[in-house]
C-alpha cells in the first residue's frame, strides 16, 4: 500500500449519509467508471471482498432452474460454479486445462447448445494459474451465439493492472477486489452492472435470495434522488479506495498497464534465463501474476518460509493439484517495479 492510502484510512470519520461522505462516494463511482472503461451508471464499491462481488453478480441474476455457462480453467472458475449451484441454477462448463486459456471456439460450441443460457461467466485473470482469458474474444462469441445471455467477468486480479474494457468487450457485470492491482487493503469489491443487467435484476420473478447483496436495494442508496439507508457504508475503507483510485488515475491507466507489463516480463525473462519453467501458456501470461514450476529438488515450504522470514517477501504456493509444485508470484499495484523484481531474484535459489 502507498502510505497516502493508509493515511486516508486514518482520517476522521463521517456518517454514511453525511453530504461530505456522499460526495466522496460519487467521486469513487466516477473514478471506477474510468478504470472499468464503462458508462454503466450502476458502478460502485460493494461492501465485502472480491467474493462478495462474485456472489452479487450471480445471486441477483440467477433464479432456480436457470442455466449458466461457466468458463473453468482454475480455482476461481470453480468458485463461480459452486455459487451458481447454490443459486439453484444449472452449470454448463467450458473447460481448459490449468495453465491454458479458455478457447473462444469451445465457448462458441457450448453456446450453440445452450443459446437460452441466462449468463456466461469467465475469470479474466486466473490467479490460481497466472493465465489471462480474453474478454474481447469471449464477449464477441456470447453476443453472436446468445445475445440475451449476460456476460459476467471476474476482474479481481486484472483491474488496474491489465486493460479491462467493459463496454467494448460487451461485459454486463464485472466485479473486482481492492487488494490486487488497485493496491488498496482488502474489504471492498468494485462492481459494475450494465443497464440491461440491472433491468434483469429488477424484473426477476422471485426476490434476490441475499438481502445484503441485493443490488436493487443498494441502488437506492446510491441514487441521490431516492437515497435511503440500506447498510452502513464502511467509511474508512472507502476513504482508502478514494485515495487509491486517485493514485491510479494520476499515474494514468496506460502508464500503469505498461508498468505492470514491464515488471512482469522482466521477472519472467529472468526466471527463464535461470532455468525456471513458466507454467502459464505463452501468449496468455499475466504480467501481474507469474506462475512458475518448482525446479527439481527444491523444497516448496522451505524456500517460501525462508523468503518470508529472512527477506520479508511473500510468494504464493500452488493450489489444488499444483500444491507443492508451483509458485505464484504477484507483482501488483505498488509492487510492480524493477526494484521488487530484483529483490526477489536476488533471494530466489538459482
Task: Give the residues lining the site for ligand PLP (CB under 6 A).
Answer: 49-51, 54, 76, 123, 127, 154, 156-157, 177, 186
Residue 127 CB, nearest approach to ligand PLP (Å): 3
Measure the CA–CA gap between 232 and 2, rounded to whole angstroms.
26
Rank residues 145 and 285 by Cβ distance to ligand PLP and give the closer one.
285
Q: Which helix (H) or strand (E) holds 24?
A: helix 19-36
Q: Tell the smallest beta-carbon distance from residue 147 to ligand PLP (Å).
A: 26
Residue 263: CB minimum distance to ligand PLP, A: 18
Contact (Cβ atoms closer than 8 angstroms) between residue 128 and residue 98: yes
Residues 6+ apart with CB under 8 A from 79: 51, 54
Q: What is the CA radius of gyration of the chain?
A: 20
Shortest Cβ 190–ligand PLP spacing (Å): 11
Q: How far is the CB of 221 from ligand PLP (least distance, A)?
A: 22
Provide the minimum distance between the beta carbon of 244 and ligand PLP in the complex, in angstroms, as a whole number. Answer: 15
Give the closest residue to 122 by CA, choosing from 173, 85, 162: 173
- For residues 54 and 48, what is the distance between their CA atoms, to the nearest angstrom? 10
Name the closest residue to ligand PLP (Cβ): 50
CB 129 within 8 A of CB 160: no
Min separation Cβ 154 and ligand PLP, Å: 5
Cα–Cα distances in Å, from 197 out to 58, 116, 207, 288? 11, 16, 15, 29
Distance (Å, whole) CA 176 – CA 193: 12
Strand, coil or helix: 68:
strand
* Max CA separation in the chain (angstroms): 64
Query: Of 317 and 349, which has the nearer Cβ to ligand PLP?
Result: 317
Nearer to ligand PLP, 156 or 241 (CB): 156
- Rank residues 139 and 177 by Cβ distance to ligand PLP and give the closer one: 177
Write the DSSP assignment of 184-222 as a string of letters.
--SSEEEEEE-HHHHHHHHT-SS--S-STT-HHHHHHHH
Pairing of strands 289-293, 90-95: unpaired
Q: How far is the CB of 10 from ligand PLP (least distance, A)?
A: 22
Cβ proximity to ligand PLP, 208 vs 288, nearer residue: 288
**What DSSP designation does 46 have?**
E
From the CB of 155, what's the least distance to ligand PLP, in Å? 8
Q: Which is nearer to ligand PLP, 22 or 188 (CB)?
A: 188
The residue among 54 and 184 lying less far from ligand PLP, judged by its C-beta, is: 54
The β-bridge partners of 291 are 328
Please report, for residues 68, 116, 199, the alpha-carbon distance to residue 88 in angstroms, rounded to integers and kept in the order given: 11, 16, 21
Task: Give whichever of 248 and 286 is closer to ligand PLP, judged by the CB atom.
Answer: 286
51 vs 210 by CB, closer to ligand PLP = 51
Amino acid at each position: 500500500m502507498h502510505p497516502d492510502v493508509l493515511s486516508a484510512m486514518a482520517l476522521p470519520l463521517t456518517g454514511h449519509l453525511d453530504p461530505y461522505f456522499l460526495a466522496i462516494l460519487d467521486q469513487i463511482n466516477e473514478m471506477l467508471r474510468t478504470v472499468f472503461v464503462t458508462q454503466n451508471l450502476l458502478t460502485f464499491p460493494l461492501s465485502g471482498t472480491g467474493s462478495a462481488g462474485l456472489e452479487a453478480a450471480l445471486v441477483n441474476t440467477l433464479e432456480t432452474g436457470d442455466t449458466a455457462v461457466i468458463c473453468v480453467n482454475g480455482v476461481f472458475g470453480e468458485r463461480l460454479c459452486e455459487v451458481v449451484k447454490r443459486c439453484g441454477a444449472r452449470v454448463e462448463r467450458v473447460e481448459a486445462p490449468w495453465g491454458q486459456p479458455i478457447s473462444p471456439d469451445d465457448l462458441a460450441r457450448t453456446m450453440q447448445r445452450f443459446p437460452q443460457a441466462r449468463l456466461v461467466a469467465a475469470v479474466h485473470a486466473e490467479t490460481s494459474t497466472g493465465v489471462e482469458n480474453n474478454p474481447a474474444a469471449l464477449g464477441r462469441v456470447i453476443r453472436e451465439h446468445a445475445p440475451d445471455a449476460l456476460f459476467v467477468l471476474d476482474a479481481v486480479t486484472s483491474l488496474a493492472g491489465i486493460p479491462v474494457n467493459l463496454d467494448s468487450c460487451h461485459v454486463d457485470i464485472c466485479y473486482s477486489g481492492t487488494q490486487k492491482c488497485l493496491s488498496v487493503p482488502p474489504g471492498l469489491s468494485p462492481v459494475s452492472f450494465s443497464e440491461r443487467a440491472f433491468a434483469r435484476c429488477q424484473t426477476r420473478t422471485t426476490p434476490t435470495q441475499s438481502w445484503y447483496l441485493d443490488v436493487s436495494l443498494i441502488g437506492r442508496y446510491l441514487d441521490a434522488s431516492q437515497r435511503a439507508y440500506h447498510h452502513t457504508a464502511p467509511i474508512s475503507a472507502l476513504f482508502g479506495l478514494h485515495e487509491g483510485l486517485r493514485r491510479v488515475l494520476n499515474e494514468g491507466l496506460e502508464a500503469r498497464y505498461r508498468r505492470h507489463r514491464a515488471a512482469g516480463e522482466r521477472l519472467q525473462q529472468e526466471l527463464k534465463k535461470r532455468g525456471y519453467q513458466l507454467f502459464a501458456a505463452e501468449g496468455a501470461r499475466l504480467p501481474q501474476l507469474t506462475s512458475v514450476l518448482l525446479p527439481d529438488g527444491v523444497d516448496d515450504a522451505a524456500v517460501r518460509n525462508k523468503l518470508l522470514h529472512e527477506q520479508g517477501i511473500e510468494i504464493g504456493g500452488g493450489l489444488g493439484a499444483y500444491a507443492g509444485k508451483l509458485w505464484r508470484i504477484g507483482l501488483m499495484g505498488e509492487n510492480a517495479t524493477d526494484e521488487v523484481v530484483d529483490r526477489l531474484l536476488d533471494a530466489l535459489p538459482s
